[in-house]
Structure 1
Amino acid sequence: MTIQRRQLLKLGAVAAASGALGSHAWAQAFPSRPVTLVVPFAPGGNTDIVARTVAVALGKVLGQSVIVDNRAGAGGSIGAAQVARAAPDGYTLLLCGAGVVVTVPEMVKTSYGRTNFAPLGLVNKSSMVLLARKDETRFKNFKEFAAYARSGEGKLTAAHSGPGTPNHLALLQLESLLKTKFTIVSYKGSGPALIDLIGGQIDVHFDQVPSALQHIKGGALQALAVLGPTQDPLLPGVQTVSELGFGSIDGTTYVGVLAPSGTPKDVQDKLAAALAQAVKDPQTVNSARELGSVALSSTPQEFGRILEAEYALAAQATKDGRLKVD
């Protein structure tokens, strides 16, 4: 080996080591300034409330402020697109449900896809329920509802809170389980759908427990079944669709945090560990309980599996022509 080649190899090794040390030192220094947590929905909703509680707890763990930035519109795609094109340095994160990054791109053309994001972990989950008016006379429980739904396609008007939402996917899953079709009505959020359900303009609505709980407790609505793997502790005695003998359906709504996919692994690991710690903060736990949801931490891999499962549902529904913008 020539002297020149040995010198070049030595310089290369030194440069590589220097680069590795530099990357490690940079990761150790992270974060050195405030972190932005983008919420792709308007202020005041369940996701926004979850984000603000998590942001406070995460800021404590990281030793830096975590600023919530609401970027609402287009089913969450405006905020998601902002994070997808942000510098992959760990300072711009996205908090949302799985649908924003895996379902919306299946329905409309977006500048991003699920591969543009790296899941860091879950922060919250809530059960979904099938709701009807308390004074409904055609069916008093889920079995009677199922029989009525099967008696004639299109008889029942079933609402969800927007195209591509977990509520929409749950409705499509239930159609498949019952081998029937509903007259589907799409709303821009749970609030208007709940008002119309109480007013008698629609027959049933698929909604999360946090949004529905006050109306159930107030006596205006009844929960026919929980659309999830287990019963919800806030709805004692309300059985799951599976427990009632109609097959498995999971309408659980998961909320998590993601980073741009090019974010360095060391920074992802640091954020994931900090996030898991923040979710266990008593304030985060209590706030979730007050909302009617559950503070839930996970590994990035567990969140990733949830994203892939929802993507499979959305992709199949799109292939069947059942998932589309109204």
Structure 2
Amino acid sequence: MNIQRRSMIKLGAGLCVGAAIGRPAWAQSYPSRPVTLVVPFAPGGNTDIVGRTIATALAKVLGQSVVVDNRGGAGGSIGASQVARSDPDGYTLLLCGAGVIVTVPQMVKTSYSRDSFTPLGLVNKSSMVLLVRGNDERFKTLKDFAEYARAEPRRVNAAHSGPGTPNHLALLQTESALKAQFTVLSYKGANPALISLLGGQIDAMFDQVPSCLPHIKSGALKALAVLGPERDPIIPDVPTIAELGFGNVDGTTYVGILGPSGMPKALQDQLANLIAQAVKDPQAIKSATELGSVAYSSTPQEFTEVLNAEYAVAAQAAKDGRLKVD
């Protein structure tokens, strides 16, 4: 081997070592330990079920275990605050809907804002519906419901599952669309509201399909309209509110994964790709369908657009004095 060739080999080896040294430590080994997925709600709800399903699928593509950490309370802000102050190294992530990030901070003082997070990708979506009892003869159609509600302010007792939730925003949007005023009742979750509706204590409620699907299938409850841009494939016979002539109301509920702000761009891209892969896992798709929702992946930009859209709705409601804590 001549001197020139030996020199070239040494130079090449030196460049490789230099490139490796120059790469951030996380890029060489991420993930080298378990990842924590914070779900800012109690176990057993829709968000928790989605979180546990996607955690299992994400563990497969990461090659590391993903631990679900339920940190419920204060509309999701307790868990969100934990993630916002975590290191942006990809080992602590947040799974939640847009409301936790952009609506709750407009209602109560939080230690975070939407700029405290890095959106990585959506993982699930579900339709919002306006529900009444199946045997309530007053409300055979949405037109019946609208006319009844318009006849007298606050005549209809309408419920949602908590301040700042997508259900709450859907209710406020529907009030405007129907040109009506409801007596608005806030519950601590969908199940208590469903019990009241089934028992006749309230007239209507706004809920995601996964929570109420068994009652729709049994006929105990009737969905008057889908509050979104398109019909839901799980309940294809239920028209959208726009189809029925009452304008555009979008209560579609999206769930996604975020990290703390300050994440390196390369790590963001890596995680976004891995999350998109996890959403395509056959078991994740099957679990979402059984739940009554859709396994739905997106780019970080699309997730950001979802956050911005919900922020605009919540900000207007807050400005109008309609977005209030109980």
TM, length-normalised to structure 1: 0.93
1:41-98 CA distance string (max 9 Å, x none): 0111111111111111111101111110000111000000000001111100000000
Distance 2:139 2:123 in 1: 36
Per the TM alignment, residue 138 of structure 1 is displaced from its structure 2 partner at its CA by 1.4
Aligned residue for 2:10?
none
Is 1:296 matched with 2:296? yes
Is 1:316 matched with 2:316? yes
Per the TM alignment, residue 18 of structure 1 is displaced from its structure 2 partner at its CA by 6.6
Identity in percent: 73
TM, length-normalised to structure 2: 0.93
Aligned residue for 1:278?
278
Amino acid at match of 2:282: P
**Structure 1 residue ranges without an equivalent (≥5):** 1-16
CA RMSD of aligned residues (A): 1.4
Q: Conserved in 2, the CA contact under 8 Å of 1:126 and 1:253?
A: yes
Matches within 5 A, 1:168-187: 168-187=168-187
Amino acid at match of 2:203: D
Q: Conserved in 2, the CA contact under 8 Å of 1:224 and 1:238?
A: yes
Per the TM alignment, residue 217 of structure 1 is displaced from its structure 2 partner at its CA by 1.0
Is 1:95 matched with 2:90? no
Q: Conserved in 2, the CA contact under 8 Å of 1:24 and 1:266?
A: no
Number of residue pairs aligned between Structure 1 and Structure 2: 310
Per the TM alignment, residue 26 of structure 1 is displaced from its structure 2 partner at its CA by 3.0
Q: Conserved in 2, the CA contact under 8 Å of 1:132 and 1:205?
A: yes
1:118-161 CA distance string (max 9 Å, x none): 10000000001100001112121111111111111110000000
1:159-180 CA distance string (max 9 Å, x none): 0000000000000001111121
Matches within 5 A, 1:119-134: 119-134=119-134
1:1-40 CA distance string (max 9 Å, x none): xxxxxxxxxxxxxxxx979953445323211111100000
Amino acid at match of 1:170: A
- Aligned residue for 1:103, secondary structure, equals helix
Per the TM alignment, residue 194 of structure 1 is displaced from its structure 2 partner at its CA by 0.2
Distance 2:50 2:237 in 1: 27
Q: Conserved in 1, the CA contact under 8 Å of 2:241 and 2:248?
A: yes
Distance 1:236 1:294 in 2: 14
Distance 1:129 1:30 in 2: 41
Distance 2:67 2:233 in 1: 32
Amino acid at match of 2:150: R
Distance 1:19 1:70 in 2: 40
Matches within 5 A, 1:13-52: 22-24=22-24, 26-52=26-52
Amino acid at match of 1:148: Y
Per the TM alignment, residue 302 of structure 1 is displaced from its structure 2 partner at its CA by 0.2
Distance 1:247 1:220 in 2: 27
Q: Conserved in 2, the CA contact under 8 Å of 1:41 and 1:73?
A: yes
- The 4+ residue runs of structure 1 with deviation greater than 6 A are 17-20
Q: Conserved in 1, the CA contact under 8 Å of 2:47 and 2:96?
A: yes
Distance 1:45 1:234 in 2: 19
Q: Conserved in 2, the CA contact under 8 Å of 1:55 and 1:66?
A: yes
- Aligned residue for 2:243, secondary structure, equals coil
Amino acid at match of 1:97: G
Distance 2:92 2:22 in 1: 21
1:258-309 CA distance string (max 9 Å, x none): 0001111111111100000000000000000000000000000000000010
Distance 1:19 1:112 in 2: 37
**Structure 2 residue ranges without an equivalent (≥5):** 1-16
Amino acid at match of 2:55: A
Distance 2:22 2:78 in 1: 34
- Aligned residue for 2:257, secondary structure, equals strand
Q: Conserved in 1, the CA contact under 8 Å of 2:146 and 2:180?
A: no
Q: Conserved in 2, the CA contact under 8 Å of 1:150 and 1:180?
A: yes
Aligned residue for 2:208?
208
Q: Conserved in 2, the CA contact under 8 Å of 1:169 and 1:314?
A: yes
Amino acid at match of 1:223: A
Q: Conserved in 1, the CA contact under 8 Å of 2:121 and 2:272?
A: yes
Distance 1:105 1:19 in 2: 43
